[in-house]
Structure 1
Amino acid sequence: MGIKKGKTDYLLSLIREGKPMTLRQQLRLTAYLSVPAIMAQVSSIAMQYIDASMVGSLGANAAASIGLVSTTTWLFWGLCAAAATGFSVQVAHRIGAGDFAGAKKILRQSVAATLVFSSLLAAVGISISGMLPGWLGGDEAIRSDSSFYFRIFALFLPALQLNFLAGGMLRCSGNMRVPAMLNVLMCLLDVIFNFFLIFPSRQVDWLGMEFTAPGAGLGVKGAILGTVLAELIAAGGMMWYLCRRSPMLKLSGERGSFLPRKETLRKAVRISLPMGFEHMAICGAQIATTVIVAPLGIVAIAANSFAIIAESLCYMPGYGISEAATTLVGQSLGAGRIRLLRRFANMTVWSGMAIMGVMGALMYAAAPQIIGVMTPVEDIRTLGIEILRIEAFAEPMFAASIVAYGVFVGVGSTFIPSLMNFGSIWGVRLTLAAWLAPTMGLRGVWLAMCIELCFRGIIFLTRLWGGNWIYKLRVKR
């Protein structure tokens, strides 16, 4: 192949070639894959944090207009991510087996399949955008901005899909650095675009110098336009690197069919479908939570939205480690190394719990500063700080469920874990939230969330350490 091997590539080659790995090498590889993935995850949620803080300075109505549809945007976001995962996991297995030609064939098929899927999803999103704020119980004053925000988000779903697909393929090949750098670039571009699109022309004092900054003054509309433009540029860069520069997966100079084959689609659907239904169930529950929160008033909607974004900064490291776990476990399975697979599974889960435990403690201590950046409204800040501190206690167990889920995705086992997520959030969180909200308000909703996340972590650890899924892998092989 003539592939130039860096430190990460060398350690991953030990998996594919069946060579022994010391504990130190396993830890180093986990860190090499996790750190860039964490950076990518944090940068993606930072975009929402930036949008919220910039729009939040415009007042409660502007903040609530984004918060109202945030759970629905996550639903569509999750469906695109699930579609990409169905193909990237197959690529991880092929790479683990040393079949680079087969991995490229799957990549070609995935581009056509996911573009068709995301285009259909975009059409659905655009068609419901006008009615969505009303369905969610939003106040009349914020419906117009909410509708526009979601319509533009839906229009650019194909670009978001390509971003997910290219990033997932690169990560499954062991390249975490390029997706991380491009996601950081996307975050920086979002700041720049928002600076000029959200606010009107104004006098700015920067480092003692005063100058007139031009601006479009679009408010909420400017926030979503800045975000999708940044996503479009990042998606273009990601696809360019994947198709032209990736040592293992580049398609330039080679011919092959982009028409999806039945076997590839069947495997993708088997992996993606449970994940898609799970995202629908979880985001549906989040939408139901929004419906529970909406009658509590604009202050509660805004505080809920800000706290969700702030907490996301805490749990994004868990999703980064989860992506590393998917890569490590997927390539170990492709190479037929079940014992190594199990070691990587345990290593990544414990790492995620430790890091998110620390993040939870920091989030509790820094809650006033975190919420304070996003809004100057005192009532929103006070309520946001209280609910964010409730959630801080759940972070270690939340990490257990996130990373363990990534392990199961890596082996292509998504059905039972998806059912576990569905049962936990609908059976525990929503039931408790509906019961506690009338008496405790938004604090009761977040207490229900904290209890449910702890329960979810317990059941995922029980499955991970129970060993039955490992036994089934041995039988299959």
Structure 2
Amino acid sequence: MMAQLSSIMMQYIDAAMVGRLGADDSAAVGLVSTSLWLFWGICSAVTVGFSVQVAHRIGASDHDGARRILRQSIVACLLFSLAVVAVGAAIAWPLPVWLGGTEAVCGKASLYFLVFVLALPLLTMNYLGGAMLRCVGNMKVPGGLNVMMCVLDIIFNFFLIFPTREIGLGSVSLTVPGAGLGVLGAALGTVSAEIVTAGLMMWFLCTREKTIRLKGHPGSFRLTRQVIGKALRISAPMTLEHAVICGAQIAVTVIVAPLGIMAIAANAFAVTAESICYMPGYGIGDAATTLVGQSYGAQRMDVARRFGYITVGLGMVMMTVMGVIMYVCAPWVMELMTPVGAIQTLGVESLRIEAFAEPMFAAAIVSYGVMVGVGDSIVPACMNFGSIWLVRLPLAALLAPTMGLAGVWTAMCIELCFRGAIFLWRLLSGAWLKKGI
């Protein structure tokens, strides 16, 4: 959860700093944010195919086997991320136009998108390093490094986003240097923090983590059919599922775009603000993948099932509490994000609608992590796909013309409740334990 919190705090920091630049810059970031989630998520999903295998090997006390998988994962993930970079760079300039952006935001949005896409190989190594450390039970190092990344993001953004300026501290006036790069500075600052973190994450994993470190344990980095085949069986459905879900989120952006710059900015800020509510869910979901994966690898199915129930219940309780807090604190959160009153009003309304979906959203998030832990990813991927495309998008398209942005978020709330219900049904049925690799 600490790792998730630090990632979300980075989003808050970027949103709050860019929000001070005005509605156009906020809309530029919001316009391409869902497309960036698509690229980030695809690279993250690829790492899961290897980390689940490592968790199984650790559960079976096969540390040499875990190291073989780690070596291959580094090569495979780098090659894959480079291919994704090529695609992203090719669409960077026309993308904002395709999404319905105006001339005032398209240029900035393209630059913001391009910087993040070019950094994907190193960001993928950050995902891989953190996932591997968590799979061997080391939660402290990924969490600590991600907190450091959050601090670095503040520092880099502080100097890159804003121009040189005078800051008063009591009776003392200080000149603070700044690059004045605006939206581009926000992208460069965040990417710089991620690059430093990725380097340290992989260094610790490969040289210091006793359970799986590569230093002192030479071996081949050559890809093998068995490891890559298993990784594909786990990751391919997740990658496709994430692409489809993010495609739906991009479609939502297209639905929101005709509502105007204020709605685009408010939607982006509300999505960022809401992320702190589901932070516990994803944190517990990561832990569930590790706990269930190791239990499954040790052939202890009863323990795997109990871990599934415990983690899902804990996630639902924690996200319910976060939903209540978000409902109450929504006005202050939006004030933190932007000084523009119209954006604040739309954002608060959206957040308070979404707060009612948090318990069932937790059920979907953590149940998904439980099922991935045993290698069951195809059916959960189809469940996510069907829910968002068959429930959320039609409802959003139906409600947006009459209810505006509130209609889009009402559709999201209804869909998340439906998704949580079907994931709970599958978890309790026990079918996921029979679908493992």
Residue of structure 1 equivalent to 2:357: 394
Structure 1's consecutive aligned runs of 4 or more residues displaced over 6 angstroms after TM superposition are: none
Distance 1:330 1:392 in 2: 31
1:200 aligns to what? 163
Kindly state the Cα deviation for residue 469 of structure 1 after the two structures are TM-superposed.
Answer: 2.5
Specify the SS of the correspondent of 1:202. Answer: strand
Once residues 169 and 229 of structure 2 are traced to their aligned partners in structure 1, the CA distance between those partners, rounded to angstroms, is: 56
Q: Does 1:49 align with 2:7?
A: no
Residue equivalent to 1:183: 146
* Distance change (3 Å), C-alpha of 1:208 and 1:278: farther
CA contact (8 A) 2:374 2:433 kept: no
Which of 33, 46, 60 is equivalent to 1:97? 60
Deviation at 1:48, TM superposition (A): 1.4
Following superposition, the deviation at residue 467 of structure 1 comes to: 1.8
Counterparts of 1:93-172 in structure 2 under 5 Å? 93-172=56-135
Where does structure 1 lack aligned partners over 5 or more consecutive residues?
1-37
1:74-473 to structure 2, matched below 5 A, reads 74-206=37-169, 209-471=172-434
Q: Within 1, Cα distance between the matches of 2:275 and 2:169?
A: 30
Counterpart amino acid of residue 129 in structure 1: A
Structure 1 residues 357 and 185, CA, compared in 2 at 3 Å: closer, same or farther? same
Cα distance in structure 2, aligned partners of 1:356 and 1:166: 27
Q: In the aligned structure 2, how far is the partner of 1:469 from the partner of 1:51?
A: 38
Question: C-alpha offsets along residues 85-104 of structure 1, whole Å, 9 cap, x if unaligned?
Answer: 00000000000000000000
Deviation at 1:254, TM superposition (A): 2.0
1:143-168 CA-to-partner distances (Å, cap 9, x unmatched) read 00000001111100001000000000
* CA positional deviation for 1:239: 0.2
Residue 201 of structure 1 aligns to a residue whose secondary structure is strand
- Kindly tell me the number of residue pairs found equivalent between the two proteins: 437
Separation in 1, partners of 2:52, 2:434: 20
Separation in 2, partners of 1:207, 1:64: 35
Q: Letter of the aligned partner of 1:249 in structure 2?
A: I
Distance 1:61 1:122 in 2: 27
Gap change, CA 1:387 and 1:258, over 3 Å in 2:
same
Residues 103-127 of structure 1 show CA distances to partners (whole Å, capped at 9, x for unaligned) of 0000000000000000110111111
How far, CA to CA, are the matches of 2:368 and 2:28 in structure 1?
A: 32
Separation in 2, partners of 1:207, 1:313: 34
Letter in 2 for 1:182: L
Q: Distance in 1 between matches of 2:192 and 2:170?
A: 28
1:211-231 deviation digits (Å, cap 9, x = unpaired): 111000000000000010000
3-state SS of paired residue (1:98): coil
Please tell me the residue identity of whatever aligns with 1:144.
Answer: G
Inter-partner Cα distance in structure 1 for 2:435 and 2:383: 18
State the superposition RMSD in angstroms: 1.0
Distance 1:330 1:46 in 2: 29
Q: Deviations over 1:421-477 (max 9, x none)?
A: 00000000001000000100100000000000000000000000012233456xx8x
SS in 2 for 1:205: strand
Q: Matched residue of 1:254: which SS?
A: coil
Deviations 1:304-342 (A, max 9, x none): 000000000110110000000000000000111000111
Structure 1 residue 142 displacement after superposition? 0.4
Deviates more, 1:248-257 or 1:451-460: 248-257
Moved more, 207-216 or 419-428: 207-216
What does residue range 28-67 of structure 1 map to in structure 2 within 5 Å? 38-67=1-30
Q: Return the letter of the residue paired with 1:432.
A: L
Q: Could you tell me how far apart the structure 1 residues matched to 2:170 and 2:285 are?
A: 40
Q: Which residue is equivalent to 1:14?
A: none
Change (3 A) 1:116 1:233: same
Q: For 1:284 and 1:207, locate their aligned partners in 2 and report how far apart those are by CA, in whole Å.
A: 50
The CA distance in 2 between the partners of 1:208 and 1:126, in whole Å, is 48
Deviation at residue 300 of structure 1 after TM alignment: 0.1
- 1:198 Cα deviation from its structure 2 partner: 0.2
Please give the alpha-carbon distance, in whole angstroms, between the structure 1 residues aligned to 2:10 and 2:435: 40
Q: CA deviation at 1:206?
A: 4.1
Q: Name 1:73's counterpart in structure 2.
A: 36
| Matched position secondary structure for 1:395 | helix
Partner-residue secondary structure (3-state), 2:83: helix
Q: CA deviation at 1:205?
A: 2.8
Offset of residue 45 of structure 1: 1.6
1:377 CA displacement? 0.4
SS in 1 for 2:25: helix
**Which position in structure 2 is the counterpart of 1:23?**
none
Amino acid at match of 2:288: A
SS at match of 1:269: helix
Cα distance in 2 between the residues matched to 1:136 and 1:316: 28
Mapped to 2, the partners of 1:226 and 1:358 lie a distance apart of 32
Whole-angstrom distance in 2 between the partners of 1:91 and 1:208: 58
Once residues 129 and 432 of structure 2 are traced to their aligned partners in structure 1, the CA distance between those partners, rounded to angstroms, is: 29
**1:395-419 deviation line (CA, Å, top 9, x unaligned):** 0000000000000110000000000
What TM-score results when the alignment is normalised by the length of structure 1?
0.91
